[in-house]
Amino acid sequence: MKRLGFTMQLKPGYADEYKKRHDAIWPELKQLLKESGIHHYGIYLDAATHTLFATLEIEEESRYAALPQHPLMQRWWAYMADIMETHPDHSPISTPLKEMFYLE
């Protein structure tokens, strides 16, 4: 397993809506993420800066890298685009983070 961390930016005033949408994540999207080898996926909010911090573990980089081309992933991004900072294709603007410490 490989651990990844990254940040994304939530638009101000949308924390409750972001949480609501993720609490009701589409079952087929949840299944796709699992089938893509994603485990222990968590997203946290820094309410002062509207920064989202995500961590996850992946089984295979190639399976994870294929997600942006999947129509379901693209549909989710379009659904979330009104409340997050995104690229023109609606994918979230994210910044990868370098792991500096991990205690197992």
Point out the residues that are catalytic. 22
Contacts of 90 (CB under 8 A, 6+ apart): 74, 77, 78, 80, 81
CB atoms under 10 Å from CB of 86, counted, come to: 19
State the DSSP code for 29. Answer: H
